[in-house]
Chain A
Amino acid sequence: MSASSSAKANQLSSRFIYVFVSLYFLIPLGATFYWSLRGAKDVLGFEAYRKLFADTNFLPAFSQSIVNAVATILLSLLIVVPTAYWVTLRLPKLRPVVEFITLLPFVIPAIVLVFGIIRLYSRPPLLLTSTYDSSRVLLICVYVALSFPYMFRAVDNGLRAIDVRTLTEAAQSLGANWGTILFKVIFPNLRVALLSGALLTFAIVIGELTIALYMAQHTLGPYMADLTRSKVYEPSAMAIVAFAITWAAMGIIDFVGRGATRSKTKVAID
């Protein structure tokens, strides 16, 4: 086979795979969207969406999930960023250990996790499930643990992309303390990585069901599960809304990331 016909064959197979995979994702999504438009009898429209947003349980569940997500992100950043920074700067040999720990949430099924947590925290001296609010705090802590694989990986990749050690030493030689170094030098240069980790965490928390359900929390996950049992078209509308939120989050990462990539790669010539 000549070089040009081989290249053509590669191009064709690439296009075929692209189309096939696109259809694989788009057909179910399209079907869901179509189903969500059938809320009114014999007419395609946004009736299901209107009913969804008019539901008195939707907004409280949605807002609670948003607050949980923001709290999770802030707490996760506070724990993960200094840890990843210190591991990169002073304890590189510990990286495999830290990576292993952050991957544990992938290994433990959610149902096992939640029953273990309920068992541990439902009796003294660690009684944290006696009230709704204390359970909510516990839930956020669990979400922080669940966010570790994504947050640590994102921050670690961000730190590897900048010369952390030299930037730190340069700042120290100019008289900066650790706080100044972290907030004026390191964090601003991890913007994309932090945003990436934050938005992945957001997506996980918004859509999480099992743990919230067994901890009797009124978040978006249990609300969606309820909706599926009692409504026909509204669950599809909810699924599309959830997809839209996730795509918006990814779009923000991509937009911010492009700006940062442009700034790193453009170099003038002497």
Chain B
Amino acid sequence: MSYLSISKVTKQFGDTVVVDDFNLDIEKGEFVSFLGPSGCGKTTTLRMVAGFEIPTSGKILLDGADITDKAPNQRNVGMIFQSYALFPNMTVAQNIGFGLRVRKESEDMVKQRVEEMVTLINLEKHANKYPYQLSGGQQQRVSLARALAIHPQVLLLDEPLSALDAKIRISLRSEIRAIQKKLGITAIFVTHDQEEALSISDRIVVMNTGVMEQVGTPFEIYNFPKTRFVANFVGSLNTSDAEVLDPAKGLVSMDGVQFEAAEGTDARKKGDKVKIAIRPERLSFASEQKKANVMDASIENITFLGSVVRIQVKIGKTKFNMDTFNNPFLELPKIGSVEQVTCSREAVLVLDE
């Protein structure tokens, strides 16, 4: 039996369905991210687990207990908010100890636990400071410590890094993940940033307009997107209209150029209109190594993006981006020249129109 079970949960506001038939089982100690654009229902789902919203239908079970209708202050879940939500009238130590004092723990116990948490987040010297005296990153760490101090059964993080600048975001997300692993706490992390979700999650739930598009490991989500939305939302993608030539062999035609796909054509018939999608990093020059698909392409443009060089090529009538790692000895083709580009069968994704 899973540790946290969200079963057939739907949430409606009036006539608007914001979460539709959400089903997910999370194991103890797992770090799951809800990823999607604004308005997809990820925060609403998180808030239902926290108890701030009550599902219209469905059940939420935590360690076997039904918490669907329980008040938020009876669920023993720790929550971290985008705006930190530290109590301005309390010091760091008082913020962290708040939940323990509410539970009427002894002062000795509170002091010990606060010291543990302050050490965990490396803010020993700041224990007597007020939130206004801390930076954004420090405030969010205090927020994390406050949520963890009460030994929550689940840790809920609602876009905790969105208000921070890029560098701090990267270091803090690693810190959060390290602490979560060390303590073995089950966590749900809501974000619209795919890099965040991909880098720290055990599994990712990709959501769109209240519906679960796909659930899988970061590797699965990125490399084997099951829907057009997931393929487009996670990572960058080249897409083009195509037509099925031979469903059994996985052959499709785009602008008269033939592609062979590893999967996605079995349930189709000849002449079906589809979309093909290829990730920029899956294309390469055939001169390096030939793979299953080899196409002639004219070089349209070359852009340096730092560690990556983006080469725009035209295959048939369609322009594709091809990404390659930058290095000082890289020999780049001339713009306007025609080269052979290649990709594997697995790199060609066949999606619905």
Q: Which residues of A contact B (CB under 8 A)?
A: 162-163, 166-167, 169-177, 180, 184-185, 188-189, 191, 263-270
- Contact code string B102-131 (vs A, CB < 8 Å = 1, else 0): 110000000000000000000000000010
Whether the pair A175, B79 counts as a contact (CB closer than 8 A) is: no
Q: Which of B83, B132, B134, B138 contacts A166 (CB 8 A)?
A: B83
Min Cβ gap A113→B in Å is 38
Whether the pair B88, A169 counts as a contact (CB closer than 8 A) is: no
Min Cβ gap B250→A in Å is 50
What are some 27 contacts across the A-B interface (CB < 8 A)? Answer: A162-B88, A163-B85, A166-B83, A167-B87, A169-B50, A170-B87, A173-B77, A173-B79, A173-B147, A174-B98, A174-B146, A174-B147, A175-B73, A176-B73, A176-B98, A177-B73, A185-B89, A188-B89, A191-B89, A263-B130, A263-B132, A264-B88, A266-B133, A267-B132, A267-B135, A268-B138, A270-B168
Whether the pair B99, A175 counts as a contact (CB closer than 8 A) is: yes
Once bound together, how far apart are the Cα atoms of A166 and B139, in whole Å?
15
Whether the pair B136, A169 counts as a contact (CB closer than 8 A) is: no
Q: Which residues of B contact A (CB under 8 A)?
A: 50-52, 71-79, 81, 83, 85-89, 98-99, 102-103, 130, 132-138, 146-147, 150, 156, 165, 168
Once bound together, how far apart are the Cα atoms of A185 and B101, in whole Å?
13
Once bound together, how far apart are the Cα atoms of A172 and B51, in whole Å?
9
Known: A169-B85, A173-B79, A177-B73. A270 touches B135 (CB 8 A): yes
Q: B residues within 8 A CB of A191?
A: 89
Once bound together, how far apart are the Cα atoms of A248 and B274, in whole Å?
78
* 8 smallest beta-carbon distances between A and B, as pairs: A174-B99, A170-B85, A188-B89, A173-B79, A270-B135, A172-B72, A166-B85, A175-B102
Once bound together, how far apart are the Cα atoms of A170 and B138, in whole Å?
17
Whether the pair A269, B135 counts as a contact (CB closer than 8 A) is: yes
Whether the pair B136, A270 counts as a contact (CB closer than 8 A) is: yes
Q: A residues within 8 A CB of B75?
A: 173
Nearest B residue (CB) for A262: B132
Once bound together, how far apart are the Cα atoms of A247 and B130, in whole Å?
31
Q: A residues within 8 A CB of B99?
A: 174-176
Known: A170-B79, A173-B50, A174-B146. A268 touches B133 (CB 8 A): yes
B50, B51, B52, B98 — most chain A CB neighbours (10 Å): B98
Once bound together, how far apart are the Cα atoms of A166 and B86, in whole Å?
9
Once bound together, how far apart are the Cα atoms of A155 and B136, in whole Å?
28
Once bound together, how far apart are the Cα atoms of A172 and B52, in whole Å?
9
Whether the pair A173, B135 counts as a contact (CB closer than 8 A) is: no
Q: A residues within 8 A CB of B87?
A: 167, 170-171, 184-185, 189
Q: Chain A: interface secondary structure?
A: helix
Once bound together, how far apart are the Cα atoms of A269 and B137, in whole Å?
9
A173, A177, A266 — most chain B CB neighbours (10 Å): A173
Once bound together, how far apart are the Cα atoms of A62 and B85, in whole Å?
45
Once bound together, how far apart are the Cα atoms of A118 and B83, in whole Å?
52
Beyond the given A166-B83, A173-B147, A175-B103, please list 4 additional residue pairs across the A-B interface where CB-CB is below 8 A: A169-B72, A171-B87, A268-B138, A270-B137
Q: B residues within 8 A CB of A177?
A: 73
Known: A163-B85, A167-B87, A172-B72. A180 touches B102 (CB 8 A): yes
Once bound together, how far apart are the Cα atoms of A176 and B86, in whole Å?
14
Nearest B residue (CB) for A163: B83
Min Cβ gap A242→B in Å is 34
Q: A residues within 8 A CB of B168?
A: 270
Known: A169-B85, A173-B72, A189-B89. A270 touches B165 (CB 8 A): yes
Once bound together, how far apart are the Cα atoms of A132 and B273, in whole Å?
91
Q: A residues within 8 A CB of B79?
A: 169-170, 173
Once bound together, how far apart are the Cα atoms of A266 and B133, in whole Å?
7
A162, A169, A177 — most chain B CB neighbours (10 Å): A169
Nearest A residue (CB) for B104: A175
Min Cβ gap B146→A in Å is 7
Once bound together, how far apart are the Cα atoms of A169 and B50, in whole Å?
9
Nearest B residue (CB) for A177: B73
Nearest A residue (CB) for B150: A174
Once bound together, how far apart are the Cα atoms of A163 and B143, in whole Å?
15
Q: A residues within 8 A CB of B146?
A: 174
Q: A residues within 8 A CB of B85?
A: 163, 166-167, 169-170
Whether the pair B102, A176 counts as a contact (CB closer than 8 A) is: yes
Once bound together, how far apart are the Cα atoms of A230 and B147, in whole Å?
68
Whether the pair B102, A174 counts as a contact (CB closer than 8 A) is: yes
Nearest A residue (CB) for B78: A173
Once bound together, how far apart are the Cα atoms of A175 and B78, in whole Å?
9
Nearest A residue (CB) for B146: A174
Once bound together, how far apart are the Cα atoms of A263 and B146, in whole Å?
21
Whether the pair B102, A263 counts as a contact (CB closer than 8 A) is: no
Q: B residues within 8 A CB of A263?
A: 88, 130, 132
Nearest B residue (CB) for A270: B135
Whether the pair A170, B81 counts as a contact (CB closer than 8 A) is: yes
